Amino acid sequence: MNRRRRRSISRVPAVLACLFLAPALLALAPRPASAQLASNGRIDPDTVPRPSLEARRATSAITLDGRLSDDAWTLADSTRGFFYESIPNQGTLSAERTVVRVLYDDRHLYIGATMYDSRADALVSAGMEQDFATQDSDIFGFALDTYLDRQNAFLFAVNPAGAVFDAQAFNDQQSVNRAWEGEIEVSTSVHDWGWVAEIAVPMTTLRFREADGAQSWGINFSRRIRRISEDSNWAALSRQFRVYKMSRAGTLTSLQGLRQGRNLWVKPFVNGVSTTGWRTPSPGEKVEGGFDLKWGITPQLTLDVTALTDFSQVEVDEQQINLTRFSLFFPEKRDFFLENEGIFGFQDNRVRNFRTGSGPQNFRLFHSRRIGLSADRTPVPIAGGARLTGRLGGYAIGLLNMQTRDDPGSPGENFSVVRLRKNILGSSDIGFMLVNREGTGAETADSYNRSIGADMNLRLAGGRMLLNSYFAATDEPDVSGDRVTGAFEVAWRDPVWAASALLKTVGESFNPGVGFVGRRGIRQGFVTLGAHPQPAIPHVREINPYVDVNLFSDTGWVLESREILPGLGIHFLDSSVLTFEYSASYERLADATRIAGVSVPEGEYDFGAFTASYQSNLGRKLGGRVSVTRGDFFDGDRTSVTGSVTLRPSAHFFLQGTAQRNRLTLGGSSFDANLFGGRFRYAYNTRTFLSAFVQYNETTDEVQTNLRFNLIHAPLSDVFLVYSERRDRTPEPGRTALTDRAMTLKVTKLLAF
């Protein structure tokens, strides 16, 4: 219904103030009953002492065969099989034994893990590709805090098929960089009594302090048994934490005489591309080459250099249907920018297990997709650049400089980023960021955009409470008005209760030229309160009732948007999830606005919609998701059905179909906005892969296809053959259906010195 009336947000602060105190009140509440459950056969993960394990030097050669049969393993210290569940039964001993041993020599750290399993025939391996879907697989994982700062870690996981997941974790579980890649050797074997993982991590993959005497590292081990949806850890954790919660990790002791060597990697590449299509700026064939270099200047500082940078092997963006009146956010997919991304993070937080009122998809002061990609997401050639990351004098430091080349329609530009962070109060930090974008072409020499900001992230009460805030401003020629943004957020999460509150402002002229901001000229207030009890209901692990209140006003405190969202999530023991939500929304349009391609008249709109969604156990061979939304939508109505079906008959094959169907009545007209897609992956082994990704956008009537072959011919060295095309099913007169096509052959080779 269109109701033309002006609303004020002036009555809202009192409500916000009351709910804003919820986390603090919860912090003072009695601790949950788990702290007194020792008599019932459980330990309290918050109070049990952290374990330690002695690393012993290997006395003879180790052959990675997934057997642990070498003599050296018989002398290793072990965890003796004691792992404690975090999910589903926090604090109880794992249903199956896991024994882990650690050895080292001058070149490698060796991890040997024996996973006993009474149902070894039911082991699940969710793929053989790098960075497989760990949540859908049996895994053995470990996190290494090599500086023993109890905040940051190298993270590794393997599944029974021998696939590897590697990542970096920052700020005591607050962020994870899944794009990081480290050289690692893995061998696994499956038996009728369980499975074994034998892992060698080169010392050159890690960063640590060189010391003449003994040193200790933080460490924790984890195991996931997919058939019973169990997660367990060597150093016990509450169910809201993961293995890379390093403030709760154990300790690996007695490491002596460690040296990293030169730590110099050079990865040259050669790239041949053939392009055609009427949208292609410069069709034809070309052969280019370049290189990436990584140098460990010190054990705590790493320099990355790239020249004639190429990202042609990266999978295309997933298309999206925009049902809002704001810009869409597309994530970064290019490995060079994703590596060490956590150091450069200055953004609205999206922290695991915390419900927050905003996230990186709403605001980032630095969003690397603005480098080398135009506004319509077409590549802009990059001449090269350098990045320095690590620690210096008690600070986490990140320096980045990139230069793009002159290209038709895209004059050359220089991009510079400075990021500093200082640890305070143990696991908390304060930081500073400066971002500069400057034209270097003859036509853009006087153009620039600069952003500057400071932030604070406090983690209190053992990681249960977060206090985050930031302030930032931008500057560019011939722009006036409010060019600042700021936010303050407090959040609480324990095994039962969750609450958070956010206050945020964004000026109408705030414009981070190398960042992303979804909405300008607003004041935002957000509060949420929820619970995560584990009732004694058959087949149910947890229920999660919650309510969110999200308010946006203009800079004069006149209400622009409001959403009240009560919901209920039901988490089952087999890891499936059923969710119900009702959204009560209000939107004020000051002018006629295009939404989903239709002009909606100015005015005020109250509308509500109900959503039900279900996600099955994706660890099974056949799984899927479905979500149905039905209700009013501005001056009309909306029926949306989104779903996917996943088939994984073995670790070698993966097939997925997706669909999003939207039937909309809007602005006096009825229409459909639909999107369909399909994925296929085949892994011959852990080094040879073939994948296909096809999307059809019914709104634009375009079909997009991306085919990729990848051969890992040596550690961190690849051969890529990529075919991409886009077709218009109803081309304009005089134009072909083929809008753009590219065939790419790229070969890389890692040279380590």
pLDDT tens-digit series, residues 406-437: 877 778 889 999 999 988 877 788 999 999 99
Q: What per-residue confidence (pLDDT) applies to 313?
A: 65
Q: What is the pLDDT of residue 315?
A: 64
Structure confidence by residue, pLDDT tens digits, 457-469: 888 887 788 899 9
> 720 and 692 in contact (C-beta within 8 Å)?
no
Indicate if 243 and 266 belong to the same structural domain: no
Whether 140 and 272 share a structural domain: no
pLDDT in tens, 482-508: 999 999 999 998 888 999 999 999 999
Task: Enumerate the β-bridge partners of residue 398.
Answer: 389, 419
Q: Is residue 729 part of a domain?
A: yes
The verdict on residue 676 lying in a domain is no
Maximal C-alpha separation, the chain: 81
- Assess whether pLDDT exceeds 50 at residue 310: yes
Note the pLDDT tens digit of each residue in 532-556: 998 888 889 899 999 999 999 998 8
Q: Are residues 179 and 279 in the same domain?
A: no
Instruction: Summarize the confidence of residues 109-123 as an average pLDDT.
Output: 94
Let me know whether 179 and 222 are in one domain: yes
Domains identified in the chain, total number:
2
Percent of the chain with pLDDT over 70: 92
Comparing CA positions, the residue from 338, 320, 447, 339 lying closest to residue 377 is 320
**Nearest to residue 706, comparing CAs of 737, 674, 742, 673?**
742
55 and 79 belong to one structural domain = yes
Mark whether 99 and 44 lie in a shared domain.
yes
Q: Which of 201, 221, 256 is the last residue of a domain?
A: 256
**Looking at residue 4, what is its pLDDT?**
38
Of 202, 225, 256, which residue sits at a domain end?
A: 256
3-state secondary structure 163-179: CEEEEEEECCCCEEECC
Residue 146 lies in a domain: yes
Percent of the chain with pLDDT over 90: 51
Kindly state whether residue 422 falls inside one of the protein's structural domains.
no
Mean pLDDT for the chain overall: 86
Per residue in 187-218, pLDDT (tens digit) is 999 999 999 999 999 988 888 887 778 899 99
Q: What's the confidence (pLDDT) of residue 95?
A: 92
Q: Which long-range contacts (CB under 8 A, 24 or more apart) does 2-5 make?
A: 2/601, 2/603, 2/604, 2/605, 2/635, 3/603, 3/604, 3/605, 3/606, 4/603, 4/604, 5/604
pLDDT at 262 over 80: no
Residue 34 pLDDT greater than 70, yes or no: no
> Within this chain, do residues 180 and 290 fall inside the same structural domain, yes or no?
no
pLDDT digit string, tens, across residues 590-626: 888 888 878 888 999 999 999 999 999 988 899 999 9
**Predicted local distance difference test score (pLDDT) of residue 31:** 36
Q: What are phi and psi of 676, to 5 degrees?
A: -130, 150
Tell whether 206 and 287 lie within a shared domain. no
Check pLDDT > 60 for residue 281.
yes
Mark which of 256, 277, 309 sits at the end of a domain.
256
Could you list the residue range(s) of the whole structural domain that residue 692 is in?
A: 262-300+684-753
pLDDT at 154: 92
Quick one: 75 and 219 in the same domain? yes
CA separation for the pair 558, 372 (Å, rounded): 39
Between CA 314 and CA 708 the distance in angstroms is 9
Q: Report the pLDDT value the prediction gives residue 23, as an integer from 0 to 100.
A: 39
DSSP collapsed to 3 states, 209-259:
CCCCCEEEEEEEEEEEEHHHCEEEECCCCCCCCCCCCHHHCEEEEEEECCC
Tell me the residue ranges of DSSP E strands in 344-427. Answer: 363-364, 382-392, 395-404, 413-424
Overall average pLDDT of the 9-24 stretch: 40
- Are 156 and 293 contained in the same domain? no
Assign 565 a pLDDT band (cuts: 50, 70, 90): very high
What average pLDDT does the segment 388-402 reach? 87
CATH code for the domain of 161:
2.60.40.1190
Question: Residues 168, 282: one domain?
Answer: no
The answer as to whether 229 is a domain residue is yes
- pLDDT band at 172, cuts 50/70/90? confident
**DSSP 3-state assignment of 340?**
coil
Strand positions, DSSP E, 405-461: 413-424, 428-439, 448-460
Which tens digits make up the pLDDT trace of 346-384? 988 777 677 887 878 889 999 888 888 776 667 788 888
Whether 210 and 96 share a structural domain: yes
